[in-house]
Every structure is written in structure tokens, then in C-alpha cells.
Structure 1
Amino acid sequence: MIAKITRGERSGDIAAYLHGPGKANEHQYTVDNRRHSGGVVIGGNLGREGHTEGGTWAADLREAAGTRPEIRKPIWQVSLRTAPGDRRLTDEQWRDAATIMAERMGYEEHPWVMVRHGEDHVHIVVSRVSDTGQVWHARQDFRAAQSAATALEKHFDLIQAPRQKTPGKARSSQSAVIGNQQQSTVKLSERRAAEAAELREARRFIELSFPTLQPGRRPTRPAPGQTPVIRPPVRDQRPERGFER
């Protein structure tokens, strides 16, 4: 059993997605041996079983969340998917699985609904705020969901799916941080190389323009009463410069 968690602000958004066709028309369900596009409610504690539209249950969750408007991302969602090649669970078995999940996670008293897609997975959507304003904080929800998935595999005699050690989002963020650090290192090296090249070019220009100015020495001046020696201007023969000094 594979469990993946997301959180959001609006129940209507997740409802529209779950009852829609999906990103690649992958959302389908079967009723009376006929395939339909979208999702169907098969469980929960809202009494919405059989609904193929999400407007009603989304309003139920929205009303509960509205009792505590200060709570950020009050909508919690977990998808449960059997491992590839595993047997098909019936709607009744999925309902039992969802009840076990709710009890183990601690949101059984909060409004929640379960939507089925296809043969191998369901989605459970929960309002973290109850009808009476109590908040389910969902602390350590990733670890708890992984533990619950293992318990469901044992309970229904399913194939044990590989467990994630860290949430996918955290792994992506860590990879992004490493990538940004590498890019910053490359840019810093390039900038330092460019600055060094500019410094070398500046020193070369000074040496060519003022050959009498040697490092550590000041330009000589004629002694009192001595006639200064005037030298003719020197033309720079390099074609890339193109001007006289």
C-alpha cells in the first residue's frame, strides 16, 4: 500500500480534481460494469456515498473549516494505492481500510470523504477542523501514514510496497538546494576568473601607456637649472588599439 499526502486551502479545488478526468484522463470508475470518467464517493462519514460530483461534500468540509478561519491549509488529503500486481480491493474493503486509516491517524471525528479512481487506488479528503472547531494538527502525518499503510497490508494480506524514508517534497527541496549551491559555485568561479582577466588587462594597459613608471619608483624630475629632455610621442603600432599616445 502506497500512501501520499498533500495539504491545501480550498476543498473545492481538490473536489474538482478528484471528480474530473485527471491530468491524462486517468480518473475512471466502474458502476454496473460500465466505465465512467471521474471519481465516485465510496466512503466517509458525510453520507455522500455514490456521489459523482464533489460540490456537496466540498461544501461540508468548507463549512467545518470555516469555524476556524485562522487555520492554514485546513484540507488534508491522502491517496492510497495498492502495489503493482496486487489484488483488487472491493469498495467494502476500501471502506474498512479508510476506517482503519482514520482511527490510526486520529481524524475519525473530523469530516472526511473517500473517492475511488480505477481498480487500485482511492483518495481520502479530510477537514482538519471539525464541526465543533477542534483542530487535528496532523503532526508527523507522513510517518503515521507509512505505518498505517503497513498495517493495512498485513490486515488485507497485500503485497508490501517499498516505504519512503522522507516525503517526496522534502527530497525534491534538498535536491534543489544542492543544485542551487552548485550553480552558485560555478557562477562565483566564473566571476572571479573574469575579474582576474580584467585586472591583468588593466595592468598591461598601464605598463604600455606609462613605461617609465616602474613599480616602487616615482617618475624622475630634472634637477634645478637642468633642461628637461623632451621625447617625441610614441605611436602604438598595434592595430587593435587604433589611437596615439
Structure 2
Amino acid sequence: MIPKVTKGTRVRGLLEYLWGPGKAEEHTNPRIVAGYDDPAVLAPPVDPSAPGRWLLGELAAKLDAPQEALGDRGIDEYVLQVALSVRVDEREISDAEWSKIAHRYVEEMGFAGDAERAGCRWIAVHHGRSVNGNDHIHLVITRATEDGAPVYLRGEWKQSQQVCDRIEDVFGLRKDTPGRAGATTRPAENRPEIDQARTAGRRVTDRQLLRREVRAALAGAKDEADWVARMKAAGLLVAARADADDPAKTVGYAVALPPERRAGKPRWLSGRLLDQDLSLHRVRQRWPSGERLSAQQWKDAVPREHRVLAGPQRVGVWRATAAALEDITARMAAVAPGSAEWPAIARASADALAVTAVIAESSGQGPVSRAADILARAAAPKRSGPAPETSTIAAELARVSDAITIAGAARHSREAAAVVALMVAAARLIVALARLREAQQDAHAAGAARVAAEQMMPLLRQAHEVRQGPPASAPAAPEPVRAGTPAVTPVRPSVPGPRRERVAEREER
């Protein structure tokens, strides 16, 4: 369950949005499923003069009353909106269950009050699935108690995550949020960039495309210089941020899609804003003794070049890498669940899948791309602690990634079968990794790996049907990790776009 917490100043405006059509006409049958009073009492009446609309004034006044009573002592941003959403493929959740979830959240966050303290006024609204298909509810909470005290917040994001983790335990919902278990976090896409991607006819944002390609460039990179050269070879705009006190020292970087891959001006994003494990500090941990490039060296770096392979050579590489992935998948089963190799193996697997996605799904839209994005979360390193130890399997995965990069995307339809074989081998690797992660007692990492594996299952089923005809029993999809359970279109650019030196956003550790 994912909580999204925002603050505002107008209850009435928020209610109009929740009972309105939504930004993409996605709001259907809005209704109150829980609140500080009986939902039947709180429910707004339908406007008799305008079918399909509701009279929201009385409900807004009820929610606003404690804040109004505070007068000048009230908080400016007193309206708290919390969206609690589950994954698209989560089980069906009834209104009665959403009501219990809402009450649990409000109580554990301290808004419901207790024997010693009055509570806040609040409602929970359920109005169907989001544009992306996620079931969810919206909580509207006014930060003023019934007895006239403002409610100040501190650490509400972290507390919300902890509360949602316990809600997953109580209600048996999926656990697949590694950030709650101490892993690095990933900034979420915001509404403007989602809308911009939709306007451009894409289902993925600049942030998602950049995250995948930066990770793919890392796969098999021998050092920082090699990584920068690979990013430029992929056509990304790359800029380093120099230290203010020492201009020769690089302390951050930003990347952007070139003009030919997006409409309008380039949108620069720092590595940390793609994914916390893609910050420069984290990336450099991959090469503890490697050279640290200066900002000027980043600017002067030239795209990595390699010999263009002929069709039969590309097919040969794809077949060899598919065989290598099958061998690695078999060998992973021999690695003990508690082995120190696992963090490196998981990361290298995520890198390899990112490279496969880049050459197989240049648009960033498809099951391999989705799986690669999710698997990177399953492989996310801990926020504190040493860098992953070396691993022979991880090193072999890096060599496989490098070979896939050199082969590049298919250029003829007759090469598609070899690419599909590579994708199927990658799918088997991810399914095996997901099953093995369960034994490591990290429910969220295992859950994320399972979700990634589920994205790849159609490829395995199709491969099974091609080989044997309609199967009596197709390969089983991995069981979702829930609380209480163990845990080909080749258009990728090869010529670098123009370089930019300005870095729009500050890079931090």
C-alpha cells in the first residue's frame, strides 16, 4: 500500500475535485466509506437541479468547523489529503474493508483522538480506480481538534509508511516497498510529467526513460569514465555539477533526453531524482578504487564506440547471452540465502534486465521495461551499510550486459526470434531470483522481485506454447508476497545529442 500525503488550504476545493469527474474522467460513483461520523450522515446529497453533481457545502462546513473555531490560531495549510493506493493487481478490496483501513490509518496517525485528547474531523472517499488502474481511497483530514487545538505534523511521510506497513500485515496486502525496509528510495513521478508524457502519446515519463537508460549504461561499465561514455553513446544529454569550492571536483550530475526524443526543451534530472541508488555518490561505490572524473572530464568525454555487428553476428551474441543467462539462473540456486553475494547478484540482474529492455523495447513501453523498473527496486541497496561484496555471478552478469549492449537492437524482423529468446532467458532469471529472494527474510524486496517476475510471465507462457502447443499447465506465476507469507522496434539513438553544462537540480547524497 502506497500513501501519498499532501497539504492544502481549501476543503471545499478538494471535495469538488473528489466528487468531480477527475483529470481523466476516472472518478466514478464517489462515496464516503468512513469518517469521524456515520458515513450515511456525512454523505452529501445529490443536486436535484444538476444530475451527476452533489451539494458539497454542508459537508465542507462540517469539516471546516473546528478550523473556523480556531480563528487566528489555526494552521494555514490545515487540509491534509492522504491517498492510500494498492497495486493494479492487488486483490479486490470492498468498501467495508476500505473503511477499516481508513479507520486504522487515522487512529495510528493520531488524528482520531483518544480518551485524553479530542480527534480531528475526517472522511474517506472511494471513487473507483485511478488512471493507471490502482484501487485507492482519499482521506480528507482537517488539522484542528474538536476541542479547539491545532494539530502540528512532524515526520508524517515516514510515519505514514510505517502505518501502511502495519496495515499490510493486518489486512494481508502485498508487501513490495523496499524503501520501508531500509533500502534507498525512489522519487515518484509527479502529475505534470505524467500529463506531459500522455500529451506526447507516451505511457512512460522522461524520468522513467532516463532511469532505465542510466542504469543500462551502468551495466558492464568498468569505471566512471566508461559509464559516462556509455550514457553519451545512448544519446543522453549529460552534465556534471562541480563543487562550488573545488571546480575540478565533480559532486553530482544530471541527464536529459535529447530534443529528437521529446517535444520542447530538455528536462534535466539529477541522478538522485531518478533513483536514490543512481546518485553519483552511490554509483561511485561500484568502483571503490576507480578514478573520479573532474567536471571538465565529464564534459570532454566522448561516446563509447564499438564495432557495428552484422546481422548474423548480432544473432550469435543474443544466442550466446541467452545461454549464459540460463546457466547463471541454474547456478544461482546454489548460492546460500544468507550469502553476502546476493546484493551484488540482485543489482547485476537488475542492470542486465535494464539493458535487455533498452534493446528490446526502445519506447520504454512493454513487459521487460516494466519488469526492469520494478526489479531495480527489489535490488535497491540499503541506505546505510557497506557497498555490495564482489561476486563471480555478478561479474558474469556484467559481461552478459556488455555483450547485449554491443549487439544492440534488432534491425531486421528475421532477427526477432533471437531477441525473444534473450528476453525469455532474462524472464527465467528474474523468476528464479524472485523465488530465491523469498528465503532471505526481506518481504518487501522479495515482493518487488515477485511483481517484476509477474511482468515477465507472459513471455514464458508464450515460449512454452510455441515449443509444446497449448500447455496442460502453463508455468505458474509467482505467488505475491503478502504480509505473513515467506518472504522489436530498433529506434535507440547511437549518436550523442548536444551537450549541456547547466545542471537544473542539486545532487545530494
Q: What pairs up with 1:3-14 in 2 under 5 angstroms? A: 3-14=3-14
Give how far 1:167 is off.
Answer: 6.7
User: In structure 2, do the counterparts of structure 1 residues 96 and 7 end up closer, same or farther at CA, with 3 Å as the change threshold?
Assistant: same
User: What does residue 91 of structure 2 align with?
Assistant: 87
User: What does residue 38 of structure 2 align with?
Assistant: 47
> Aligned AA for 2:120?
H
Q: What pairs up with 1:104-183 in 2 under 5 angstroms? A: 104-108=108-112, 109-118=119-128, 120-162=135-177, 165=185, 168=188
User: In structure 2, do the counterparts of structure 1 residues 111 and 73 end up closer, same or farther at CA, with 3 Å as the change threshold?
Assistant: same
* Local SS of the residue matching 2:120: coil
The structure showing larger relative contact order (alpha-carbon pairs under 8 Å, at least 6 residues apart) is: 1
> Aligned AA for 1:147?
Q
What RMSD in Å do the two structures reach over aligned CA positions? 3.1
Give per-residue Cα distances to partners, 1:34-75, cap 9 Å, x unaligned. xxxxx2111101334344643322111222111224411001
Contact 1:15 1:55 in 2 (8 A): no
* Local SS of the residue matching 1:66: helix
* Local SS of the residue matching 1:28: coil
Separation in 2, partners of 1:161, 1:51: 36
User: What does residue 57 of structure 1 align with?
Assistant: 59
Separation in 1, partners of 2:62, 2:167: 28
Separation in 2, partners of 1:10, 1:17: 11
Give per-residue Cα distances to partners, 1:119-141, cap 9 Å, x unaligned. 51110100101222122212111
Is structure 2 residue 41 aligned with structure 1 residue 26?
Answer: no
**Higher share of residues assigned helix:** 2
Structure 1 segments unaligned to the other structure (5+ residues): 30-38, 188-245
Contact 1:115 1:122 in 2 (8 A): yes
Give how far 1:89 is off.
Answer: 1.1
Give how far 1:27 is off.
Answer: 0.7
User: In structure 2, do the counterparts of structure 1 residues 169 and 59 end up closer, same or farther at CA, with 3 Å as the change threshold?
Assistant: farther
User: In structure 2, do the counterparts of structure 1 residues 160 and 67 end up closer, same or farther at CA, with 3 Å as the change threshold?
Assistant: same
Give how far 1:81 is off.
Answer: 0.9
User: In structure 2, do the counterparts of structure 1 residues 163 and 11 end up closer, same or farther at CA, with 3 Å as the change threshold?
Assistant: farther
> Aligned AA for 1:110?
C
* Local SS of the residue matching 2:83: strand
User: In structure 2, do the counterparts of structure 1 residues 68 and 79 end up closer, same or farther at CA, with 3 Å as the change threshold?
Assistant: same
User: In structure 2, do the counterparts of structure 1 residues 126 and 163 end up closer, same or farther at CA, with 3 Å as the change threshold?
Assistant: farther
* Local SS of the residue matching 1:67: helix
TM-score of the aligned structures, taking structure 1 as reference length: 0.62
Separation in 1, partners of 2:111, 2:9: 18
> Aligned AA for 2:80?
W
Give how far 1:178 is off.
Answer: 5.7
> Aligned AA for 1:9?
T
Contact 1:3 1:79 in 2 (8 A): yes
TM-score of the aligned structures, taking structure 2 as reference length: 0.31
> Aligned AA for 2:60?
A
* Local SS of the residue matching 1:111: strand
Contact 1:67 1:131 in 2 (8 A): no
User: In structure 2, do the counterparts of structure 1 residues 161 and 25 end up closer, same or farther at CA, with 3 Å as the change threshold?
Assistant: farther
Contact 1:146 1:163 in 2 (8 A): no
User: In structure 2, do the counterparts of structure 1 residues 73 and 86 end up closer, same or farther at CA, with 3 Å as the change threshold?
Assistant: same
Separation in 2, partners of 1:17, 1:115: 11
Separation in 2, partners of 1:65, 1:167: 32
Separation in 2, partners of 1:90, 1:22: 21
User: In structure 2, do the counterparts of structure 1 residues 68 and 177 end up closer, same or farther at CA, with 3 Å as the change threshold?
Assistant: farther
Separation in 2, partners of 1:86, 1:177: 31
User: What does residue 15 of structure 2 align with?
Assistant: 15
Which residue among 77, 102, 108 is the counterpart of 1:98? 102
Per mean C-alpha deviation after superposition, the further-off stretch among 63-72 and 100-109 is 63-72
Contact 1:111 1:130 in 2 (8 A): yes
**Higher share of residues assigned strand:** 1
> Aligned AA for 2:168?
E
Separation in 1, partners of 2:60, 2:82: 16
Give how far 1:82 is off.
Answer: 1.3
> Aligned AA for 1:15?
L
Separation in 2, partners of 1:10, 1:45: 19
Give per-residue Cα distances to partners, 1:145-192, cap 9 Å, x unaligned. 11111111111111124255377599x9xx88969xxxx9649xxxxx
User: In structure 2, do the counterparts of structure 1 residues 163 and 20 end up closer, same or farther at CA, with 3 Å as the change threshold?
Assistant: farther
* Local SS of the residue matching 2:123: strand
Contact 1:83 1:160 in 2 (8 A): no
* Local SS of the residue matching 2:145: coil
